[in-house]
Every structure is written in C-alpha cells, then in structure tokens.
Amino acid sequence: MIFKNLDFHNIEEIYSHKNINGVLLARTPERVSRYLSKVGQIMMLCLSGSEIRFVSDTYPVKITLSVDKIIKQIGDSVLSEVCVFFGGLQLRQRFTITQEKTTINIIVPPKFFAMTRKIAVNTPFSPNVCRIRFWGTTMGTPIRFHDIETRGDIRPPTAEEVPGLRYLAYGSSVTQGAYASGPHLSFVDIVGTRLGADVINLGTSCSAYCEPELADYIAERNDWDFATLALSVNMVDCFSPKDFSERVNYMIDKIAKSNENRPVICITLKPYYGDYIKSKKPDVYRDLLRNAVKNSSHKNVYLVEGPELMPDVAGGLCSDLIHLGDYGMMQIGMNLAEKLEPILQSHGLLTPKAKQDSCLTSLPEHVTSTTHSGKLIKLFRRSRV
C-alpha cells in the first residue's frame, strides 16, 4: 500500500481515528478481519513481517512512530522494535518504539551506496531501498505511523528494486515469527531470503482457525506467486476433527483453484509438546491434512511434513515446548526452502541458470559469488499491484 509516498509492505488497511494522532496499520482489511476471532483481529494489527519502504536521495531520514494503546488489551509488552535494512543489508541501528511518539533517525555509513553498487549486484532487493522492519518480543505490536522527515526527495521503490517473486505464508504464531530474535529470523523470512522472494506474512498467533472469509481473501489476492499453509496447531484443542477437516478442505480448495499456476504448499504440524502428552493427538490432525491434500483435485497442491523440517527438536523449541528459538526457525526455514525449490521450478517460478551473469564475473578474484539458495537463480519480475 502506498501512503505518504512510502510503500507500506504487508499492510492492507490504514485507520485514522478522531482525536488520536497518527494512523493505525493493519495486515488485513477490516472487511476481512471482522470475521476473525477477537484474538485474530488483534493479531492482524501486530505487524509481523510488515515494513515501511522508501528510496531517499539524502540521509538522515527521520520517521516518527508509536505503539498504539490497544496493546494494553492483550497484556503484552508496550515496547516494539524496528530493525533497519538497506535492501538485504542489515544496519546496526535498532530502535525501541514506545507508546510515546518515538522518532527514529536513520543514517547510513560513509560511502555506503558507492560500495553497495559493487557488492550488491543483481540482488533481489536493491540496496537503495530502506526497509523499516517491525518486530517485538513476541509477534510485534500495533503501530501508529505519524510522520517522515527528509531534506531531499523520497519515493516508494519501483518493481525493479524489490523481488519479483512473492511468497504468502499463513499459519499460527510460528508463522507469525513468535520468539525469533528479529524479523529476518522468522522461518518465512528465511525462506524468502533463500529463494529471493518477497514475503507476505499472514501468520496469526493463537488464532489460525482457517476462517472461510480469510481463505476467500487469500484466494482473491493477485500479489503472490506461491503460498504455504501451516494448518494449524491452534485448531487441535478448539476444533473437532470433523470441523478441522471442513475448514482445511475449504481453504485448500478455495486458494488452489484461484490460480492453478500458483503452488499451494500445506505443512503438517511441526513437533511440539502435544507429541509427548498422551492426551494429545496431533497425528490425527496431521493425517486429516494429508488426506485433504491427497484428495484435492488441484495439481498445484503439495504436502510438506512439519516434523521433517525440524529434525533437532530439542535444539529448535523454546522452553514452552511449542514456539521456536532462532535455531528452530533456521531449521524450518532452510529445510522448507530446499523442499520448495523443485516445486517452484516445476511451475516456472524459479529456474537454475547455466552460468553466472556477466556482472558477477567482474568481482575481484578473491571474492566468491553465491546466491541465496546456493545456486544461481533467475527471478521472474512481475508488475506490482
């Protein structure tokens, strides 16, 4: 979404409220979020995987933000964090946002852009693109945007400055990125980095209930090329096997048939404490998802086994034995990217190159060129919506 000449990525609604400074940002429009659970509605205000992106011809640039007071209703920390990237390059700057208006001052190192023109060659993100990436101690917090200040000209990125491949991820708090140390360490962002894809994160903590209205919304969006559906540990205790199957089958069918050139990858439950408690039956729900994929009439539906993505369970889980630490996120992200690669290649979304680009051969001899997936790949550009 373009607002104030900035690209608000993974943000689909901007709310202005009378007598409240700033605008509130949301990942789904109100016409969809009103059909979600109360927790789901709040989670779509928590800006996991969301960014403010822009290209400026001069720095520093100052952006004023605040944590919205609605945070008190969910008992979470009143703090949020912002990480700053230029393209794929992470700056050391990291800011804490509070409920008071907080102005962050974005600076760049000396000769930064001159060096990145030589280093960041043919990268999915242009290093000219400043990315204000939202995060928090769990899944981020509701954020209000107030203002941006710069002495020069500022504009949103062009299609050529961001990845042409777009990845939509739906699931529970693990998809949303809970407990990762930063936005770039959620498993969906690791997948995006490995495959050179831009990420649309629709993870929703404690509330991934596969609502049919959300399935309809994902299906109607034309700004993604492939999707993963992690379906869903949140439903094990709240939905009977019958209700789970009905919702999962509807979501898979609705999204897959919207465009059979777009792969839809379903992920069974990853390992968690339910696998070690006799009263829990996560394998029942894994089998139901396997059957839903097996019985689907759509050739663009695929299954990935969650337990295969995190073989080191003890090293991957947090102390609550359900969420993931950074290493768990890394395991799932790297292993999932490896499984996705041949699927995307079969749909013409990712194609191995026979040889290096000529621009890479100009690097100094002591520099070894690699790519995000360990092989040189071609990313198909597409018009931005």
Q: What is the pLDDT of residue 69?
A: 82
- The band of 244, judged by pLDDT with boundaries at 50, 70 and 90, is very high
The structure tokens 């208006």 sit at 101
Q: Give percent above pLDDT 90 in the chain.
A: 79
Q: Which positions ≥6 away from 305 have C-beta within 8 Å?
A: 267, 268, 286
Q: Hey, what domains does the chain have and what are their CATH numbers? A: 2-161 (2.60.120.260), 165-346 (3.40.50.1110)
Residue 364 has pLDDT above 60, yes or no: no
When pLDDT is averaged across residues 179-200 and rounded to a whole number, the result is 95
When pLDDT is averaged across residues 12-21 and rounded to a whole number, the result is 94
- The band of 366, judged by pLDDT with boundaries at 50, 70 and 90, is very low
pLDDT digits (tens, 9 = 90+) for 271-324: 999 999 988 899 999 999 999 999 999 999 999 999 999 999 999 999 999 999
Examine residue 60 and say whether the peptide bond preceding it is cis (omega within 30 degrees of 0): yes
Q: Which positions ≥6 away from 129 have C-beta within 8 Å?
A: 53, 54, 55, 86, 87, 157, 161, 162
Helix 187-195 / helix 326-346 crossing angle, nearest 10 deg: 40
C-alpha closest to that of 136 among 180, 104, 88: 180
Q: What is the pLDDT of residue 137?
A: 60
Residue 124 has pLDDT above 80, yes or no: yes
Q: What is the pLDDT of residue 359?
A: 36
Q: What is the pLDDT of residue 338?
A: 98
How does the average pLDDT of the chain come out, rounded?
A: 89
Calculate the alpha carbon distances from 364 to 359, 367, 371 in Å: 11, 6, 17
User: Is the CB of residue 37 less than 8 Å from the CB of residue 209?
Assistant: yes
- The band of 25, judged by pLDDT with boundaries at 50, 70 and 90, is very high
Q: What is the pLDDT of residue 36?
A: 98
HEC sequence for 85-114? EECCEEEEEEEEECCCCEEEEECCCCCHHH
Residue 262 has pLDDT above 80, yes or no: yes
Calculate the alpha carbon distances from 109 to 11, 126, 197, 281, 291 in Å: 29, 17, 27, 53, 53
- CA 269 to chain centroid, in Å, comes to 19
Q: What is the pLDDT of residue 92?
A: 87
When pLDDT is averaged across residues 232-243 and rounded to a whole number, the result is 96
Q: What is the pLDDT of residue 83?
A: 93
3-state DSSP call for residue 306? helix
Q: What is the pLDDT of residue 138?
A: 65
The pTM of the whole model exceeds 0.75: yes
Rounded distance between C-alpha atoms, residue 132 and residue 56, angstroms: 13
Measure the CA angle with vertex 323, ends 89 and 292; round to 5°. 100
Rounded distance between C-alpha atoms, residue 181 and residue 79, angstroms: 14
